[in-house]
Amino acid sequence: MRAWILAIFGVAAMAQIPSPSPGQAKGHQEAEEFEKAHRPLIQPNRPKSKSVGAVTAGLAGGRQARTASPVVPHRNYIDGHVFGRMKKDGIPHAGLAADEEFARRAWLDATGRIPPPEELAVYLNDRSPAKRDALIDKLVASEGFVDKWTFYFEDLFRAGQRMGSGLNLFHYWVREWLRLDRPYNEVVTDLLTGAGKTSFSVPGGMYYARDFVKAKDDPETADAHDLVNQPDTVDEFTITYSKVFLGLNLACISCHDGRGHLEKVNLFLTSKKRDEFYGQAAFFGKTRQIMNWENGYQANTEYTVDDLAPGYDTKAESIVRVPRRGGDGSPRFILTGEKPRPGMNARDELARMLTGHVQFRRTLANRVWSELMGFGIVEPIDDFDLERYRPSAKLPDPWTAQPSNVELLEALAEDFRKNQHSFRQLVATIMKSSAYQLSSRFDGEWKEAYTPYFARKYVRMLSAAELHDAIALATGRPGKFQAGSEKVSMVMQMPEPKKADAEVQNFMRTFGQSNRDDMPKKSPPSALQAMLLMQSKIVTERVTADKEGWLAALLEKTADNRKLVESIYQQTISRSPSGAELQVGLAALGSDRRRGAENLQWALLNSPEFLFNY
Amino acid sequence: MNGRVGELLGTRRELLRYGGYGLLGAFAQQAFLPVAARAAGRATPRGGARFCIVIELAGALSHIDSFDFKENAGTQKDFDVRRIKDDLYLPYRLFPHLSKQMERIAVVRSMKSHEVVHFRGQYYTQAGRPLNPAQASEIPSVGSVVSYEFEGQRREADTFPTYIGCNLDTAGCGALSTGFLPPRLSVLDINLKNGSAAAPADAAAMEILEERYRLLRKLDEVMAPGRAARDRNFSSFRDFQQSAYKILGDPRWPAAFQMAKPEIERYGDNSVGLGCLLARNLVEADAGTRYIHITHPDWDHHRDIYNHSKKSNHYIRCNEFDRAMAALLDDLAAKPSPRLLGKTLLDETMVVMVTEFGRTPGALNGIAGRHHYNLAYLSLFAGAGVKGGRIIGKTDAEGENVVDSGWKYSKHQIKTENVYATIYSALGIDWKKEITNTPSRRAYRYVDSLGATEMLIDDEIAELFV
């Protein structure tokens, strides 16, 4: 058979073992040679390293000069864990962020927006001691919160064109559960279960329907269902949802057992067999995505979902991974081995087991922590090593525990459970801690060793959508976008940023916007980003002070140059200029006031204090 | 150099003790990047190429309708197939320009890929190795490895980035990152058909940019004391601004984008034509750019491959590529090297055509197209000492299987890895080097003999040069 393929896969097998390939049977000896060569590469020597405890003890008791840390109040249980740990280990930390620093951060983290200057002024003038909590409560209850986190979850759930006509429905469904703060375990249950037509009755079903191959691109093929339901696709989807909801990367064991491969990569997965992966994949083994075909073409992108297929075939041919050689094809939950109860739908049972497991709560808590704090308590956030998770675990040398503060993550997960899986509450709780409110400024010598303690705020560049929308907000020139039949002014409010015009799309891509086909990833800074900010129309046209827009109006109504500079600062980087900055600003206004004002706003849009959440 | 690497390593080890392997994920990659390459296999690179231009036909070229022509039930009447020499036949209708240039071009017909889907296939051609999801986040593109290798060779006046991409944004996998290498070695990807950020400002815009940039620097100076105490990422963006400004402010940059109408017509006003024209200009400018990867999208003709009425078909794509590559080779060959007496720019530039796999041989499928085929496909090489007019490898009568690999490893078909070994070698880079202190602790070999499904030959294709 010729190897032509109808499927489109994002990723497949991890370390692939040799297998007979079409037209070329391979000798056993060659396979062995390959295996032998494979092992040393994936089991490199690791440097001997002490345990976290040993090092922190060394820092605490040794010659380490103790730096007096600023006093910060303990606002909730998070602070007990974060500052308690630092105190125990003698790690110095930053002081609390000033009000301006805190406010901009809070606005960006909760709503993805820079603060509106008037609202910021009200907040800064507020003398109430509880004003930070009050601001956080206001922000997480706002529509901005729904905008920002809808976009976040749509990146995570890869809500894109593959969802076809179900995309808009999915978008409003995500907005709705965020607005209502539906329990997250219920939301994920909706994502994993449900049967019917994706475009009408089960919007959550788009999450898995999107991954199934747009099969039958070829009318020569007899039965489209075979392709739609092929086990490779189930495998891919299983890898994806296990990352998203369980923080586990099962890619390696989707092809081969962990033993002999993963000893130096992930101790937990080392003990897992491919057969156990089959068990996890089998929960979707009976699920069919049936498409609407007309004259050999897919007539629309609606799917009918049911669970009437024969089940996961552990001997099914594979296109992208090591051949399946048989095994147990019955559903078994990878973390407990639990099987569905007789007579129950396997996906319903998966949702029950998965959302009831503590690893589900840890994963989300760690994800949200990473968004708000710069990186996770466990890193990488979708590659937990559960063997290295328990603090009491005896680990083979040179492994050390994976979480930087396991008690903290456990407490977050437990709090999440107690609050009925309230996502909004989780965000608010982290933001209300002093740990979140530390300054990014650290006076004294910073050491990398302090990093895992979260001893200061770690700055992050604004996301592509945040940055685009911040430029629009700062210049008072909203974008014009479409969300379904609705007109919206921010990229962040769109169901799919790929529907923006080419200029905006190019901007978004350059700043790391997910393509919504792969898992979202962080993108490093680049010269291309800098070029774009310098000369993209998204910036240059917006700072032009002609009839529409904020700057023209400001020039018109503000005769005093000093006030002009101050307003541009407040509007753009959410703070007032220092004396020295004011002087530079005034000089810039020089002979041509309008051109000077445009230049000043351009320079501030290009400054780190605009580009970063600090 | 060694001192700096040592320092970085120290920091890294210290950090490793804290979170173990995990912490290296999100923040550490930005904070520092460990790099120390050591030669593992002592390959002897042949050198000779100062530049390399890779043209990727993304979506997969039908090998049997092009440089490994096989007459079959799908062959179109209007192909006008002509014999070039020996068993090299070409449909003149598809390749009117390259038909006259085959004396400059060597065809490798014995290629094989284990990939049969575009995303993975295009990743393979950019990374020079199969996609391994466990490692993908730390794997740099070949172009970034070249940037790393050539960083020490950059001259004061070099402002252009070492690695420039054209239309990589259209590739299934996008432009690959620098992986564990520092972001400054990143590709600068330019899409001339899609309003690229990197396209130069005009004179008036440049004048304003200068004024604004000066102001930005002034503000930066007065803000500096407050910033110093903050996270270093906060101020590191300034470095990128500086290189961006240097590029935009270099008069050679807009000059490289200057394209006269007759030239655009000669190269073709399309993604590959403009890409090749820009590549020629970059090579002529010699302002820091050494490696250029051009993606020519939209070759995936499962359906209606020869239907003239379709917006995308094999005729259109072949004609675009034909015009672009022929013009590029002509221009490079016509231009004397300013560095080497008696040599041309083509002598100093390796030009390579790659594609992710072939297309199904024989009759067309039920929807008048050709599907993906991986057991035989081809690539083209020219310049930098490549002996043109020759064919390496041979397929059977249908173009289904390779019957002669055409190089000294008679039992092994040629792979993408060998293409890159050849490119590294021509660029004077020891392709057997490896980097061992990667975040995952798995050794990164420039050319990895550990393929996706079998052990590979990690040698260059020396037969191209003799």
Report CB contact under 8 Å: B222, A10.
Answer: no
**Amino acid B35: pLDDT:** 64
Report CB contact under 8 Å: B440, A534.
Answer: no
Residues of A in contact with B118 (CB under 8 A): 8
For residue B352, the cross-strand partners are B54, B381
**Amino acid A63: pLDDT:** 38
**Amino acid B356: pLDDT:** 95
Give the Cα separation of B58 and A487 in Å (integer).
Answer: 36
pLDDT surpasses 90 at B1: no
Residues of B in contact with A588 (CB under 8 A): 215
Both tokens assigned to A513: 């916007």
**Amino acid A186: pLDDT:** 97
In chain A, the residue whose alpha carbon lies closest to the alpha carbon of B22 is A379
- Residue written as tokens 């016509």? B334
The b/e string for A314-324 (b: 16+ C-beta within 10 A; e otherwise) is: bebebbbbbeb
In chain A, the residue whose alpha carbon lies closest to the alpha carbon of B208 is A599
Confidence of residue B12 (pLDDT cuts 50, 70, 90): very low
**What pLDDT digit, counting tens, does each position of A293-341 carry?**
666 566 666 777 888 888 999 998 876 678 899 999 999 999 999 999 9
| DSSP string for A465-489 | HHHHHHHHHHTT----EEETTEEES
Mean pLDDT of A481-502: 93
Shortest CA gap B264–chain A (Å):
23
Best of B240, B373, B449 to disrupt the A interface (most A CBs within 10 Å) is B240
**Amino acid A18: pLDDT:** 32
Confidence of residue A47 (pLDDT cuts 50, 70, 90): very low
Mean pLDDT of A580-584: 96
Report CB contact under 8 Å: B195, A502.
Answer: yes
Confidence of residue B28 (pLDDT cuts 50, 70, 90): very low
**Amino acid A262: pLDDT:** 86
Residues of A in contact with B161 (CB under 8 A): 527
CB-based contact A489:A480 (threshold 8 Å): yes
pLDDT surpasses 60 at B7: no
**What pLDDT digit, counting tens, does each position of B67-126 carry?**
999 999 999 999 999 999 989 999 999 999 999 999 999 999 999 998 888 888 999 999
- Residue written as tokens 């979170």? B19
For residue B49, the cross-strand partners are none
**Amino acid A488: pLDDT:** 97
Shortest CA gap A10–chain B (Å):
6
Give the Cα separation of A608 and B321 in Å (integer).
Answer: 43
Both tokens assigned to A437: 């409110």
Mean pLDDT of B324-339: 98
Confidence of residue A223 (pLDDT cuts 50, 70, 90): very low
Judged by a CB distance cut-off of 8 A, whether residue A540 touches chain B is: yes
**Amino acid A16: pLDDT:** 31
**CB neighbours (10 Å) of residue A590?**
11
pLDDT surpasses 70 at A219: no
**Amino acid A78: pLDDT:** 98
DSSP 8-state class, residue B455? B
Residue A543 or residue A252, greater confidence: A543
Both tokens assigned to B56: 């990727």
Residues of A in contact with B453 (CB under 8 A): 16-19, 21
**Amino acid A36: pLDDT:** 47
Shortest CA gap A423–chain B (Å):
23
Q: How far is CA A329 from the centre of its chain?
A: 32
Residues 369-398 of A with CB under 8 A from B: 370, 374-376, 378-381, 383, 385, 388
Q: Which value, in Å, is the radius of gyration of the alpha carbons in chain B?
A: 23
Judged by a CB distance cut-off of 8 A, whether residue A607 touches chain B is: yes
pLDDT surpasses 80 at B37: no
Give the Cα separation of B306 and B289 in Å (integer).
Answer: 38
Inter-chain CB pairs, A–B, below 8 Å: 306
pLDDT surpasses 80 at B230: no
- Cα first-last separation, chain A: 57
**Amino acid B45: pLDDT:** 96
**Amino acid A225: pLDDT:** 42
Report CB contact under 8 Å: A33, B455.
Answer: yes
Give the Cα separation of B418 and B439 in Å (integer).
Answer: 26
Q: How far is CA A501 from the centre of its chain?
A: 24
Shortest CA gap A53–chain B (Å):
9
Judged by a CB distance cut-off of 8 A, whether residue A249 touches chain B is: yes
Judged by a CB distance cut-off of 8 A, whether residue A8 touches chain B is: yes
CB-based contact A405:A399 (threshold 8 Å): no
CA neighbor of A414 nearest in space, from A368, A364, A358, A460: A358
Judged by a CB distance cut-off of 8 A, whether residue A356 touches chain B is: no
**CB neighbours (10 Å) of residue A498?**
15
**What pLDDT digit, counting tens, does each position of A133-155 carry?**
999 999 999 999 999 999 999 99
Shortest CA gap B16–chain A (Å):
7
Residues of B in contact with A52 (CB under 8 A): 17-20
CB-based contact A16:B453 (threshold 8 Å): yes
In chain B, the residue whose alpha carbon lies closest to the alpha carbon of A265 is B440
pLDDT surpasses 60 at A9: no
Best of A535, A575, A583 to disrupt the B interface (most B CBs within 10 Å) is A535
**CB neighbours (10 Å) of residue A497?**
25
Mean pLDDT of A125-129: 96
Q: Could you say which of B30, B131, B137 has the minimum Cβ distance to residue A521?
A: B137
Judged by a CB distance cut-off of 8 A, whether residue A402 touches chain B is: yes
Neighbour-count burial of A35, counting CB atoms closer than 10 A to its CB (0-12 exposed, 13-18 middle, 19+ buried): middle
Cβ neighbours of residue A572 closer than 8 Å, sequence gap 6 or more: A474, A601, A604, A605, A610
CA distances from residue A280 to A267, A312, A317 in whole angstroms, order as listed:
19, 10, 18
Residues of A in contact with B16 (CB under 8 A): 47, 49
Report CB contact under 8 Å: A608, B227.
Answer: yes
CB-based contact A510:A611 (threshold 8 Å): no
Shortest CA gap B145–chain A (Å):
16
Mean pLDDT of A415-432: 98
DSSP 8-state class, residue A499? G
Both tokens assigned to A477: 């020139």
**Amino acid A493: pLDDT:** 97
Best of B123, B231, B412 to disrupt the A interface (most A CBs within 10 Å) is B231
Q: Could you say which of A4, A5, A614 has the minimum Cβ distance to residue B230?
A: A614
**What pLDDT digit, counting tens, does each position of A177-205 carry?**
999 999 999 999 999 997 777 666 677 77
Residue A276 or residue A516, greater confidence: A276
Shortest CA gap B455–chain A (Å):
6
Neighbour-count burial of B65, counting CB atoms closer than 10 A to its CB (0-12 exposed, 13-18 middle, 19+ buried): buried
**What pLDDT digit, counting tens, does each position of B130-177 carry?**
988 767 888 999 999 999 999 999 999 999 999 999 999 888 888 898
Mean pLDDT of B283-308: 96
Residues of A in contact with B236 (CB under 8 A): 525
For the packed helices B416-426 and B142-150, what is the interaxial angle rounded to 10 degrees? 20
Shortest CA gap B238–chain A (Å):
8
**What pLDDT digit, counting tens, does each position of A502-522 carry?**
889 989 988 999 989 888 887
Q: How far is CA B21 from the centre of its chain?
A: 32
Confidence of residue A67 (pLDDT cuts 50, 70, 90): low
Residues of B in contact with A532 (CB under 8 A): 197
**Amino acid A443: pLDDT:** 86
Report CB contact under 8 Å: B366, A220.
Answer: yes
Interface confidence, given as ipTM, is: 0.84
CA neighbor of A49 nearest in space, from B392, B16, B279: B16
Average model confidence (pLDDT) across chain A: 85
Give the Cα separation of B429 and B52 in Å (integer).
Answer: 12
In chain B, the residue whose alpha carbon lies closest to the alpha carbon of A50 is B17
Neighbour-count burial of A220, counting CB atoms closer than 10 A to its CB (0-12 exposed, 13-18 middle, 19+ buried): exposed
Shortest CA gap A27–chain B (Å):
11
Judged by a CB distance cut-off of 8 A, whether residue A25 touches chain B is: no
Report CB contact under 8 Å: A404, B18.
Answer: yes
Report CB contact under 8 Å: A2, B373.
Answer: yes
Query: Looking at this protein, which amino acid is placed at residue A28?
Result: H
Give the Cα separation of B12 and B297 in Å (integer).
Answer: 40
Give the Cα separation of A221 and A545 in Å (integer).
Answer: 61
| DSSP string for B29-63 | HHH-----EEESS--------SEEEEEEETT---G
Give the Cα separation of A406 and A52 in Å (integer).
Answer: 12
pLDDT surpasses 90 at B19: no
pLDDT surpasses 50 at A13: no
Please tell me whether the peptide bond between A398 and the residue prior to it is cis, using omega within 30 degrees of 0: yes
**Amino acid B17: pLDDT:** 28
Q: Could you say which of A47, A526, A611 has the minimum Cβ distance to residue B186?
A: A526
**Amino acid B39: pLDDT:** 64
CB-based contact B74:B364 (threshold 8 Å): yes
pLDDT over 70 for what percent of chain A? 83
Residue B293 has φ and ψ, to the nearest 5°, of: -115, 115
Query: Looking at this protein, which amino acid is placed at residue A500?
Result: A
Q: Could you say which of B137, B244, B453 has the minimum Cβ distance to residue A18?
A: B453
Residue B295 or residue A46, greater confidence: B295
Q: To which H or E segment does residue B321 belong?
A: helix B314-334
**Amino acid A220: pLDDT:** 47
**What pLDDT digit, counting tens, does each position of B356-384 carry?**
999 999 999 888 999 999 999 999 999 99
**Amino acid B194: pLDDT:** 72
Neighbour-count burial of A153, counting CB atoms closer than 10 A to its CB (0-12 exposed, 13-18 middle, 19+ buried): middle
Mean pLDDT of A228-233: 70
Both tokens assigned to A455: 């001893």
Mean pLDDT of A161-174: 87
**What pLDDT digit, counting tens, does each position of B407-463 carry?**
999 999 999 999 999 999 999 999 999 998 887 778 899 999 988 778 899 999 999
pLDDT surpasses 80 at A229: no
**What pLDDT digit, counting tens, does each position of B207-224 carry?**
999 999 999 999 988 887
Average model confidence (pLDDT) across chain B: 88
Judged by a CB distance cut-off of 8 A, whether residue A221 touches chain B is: no
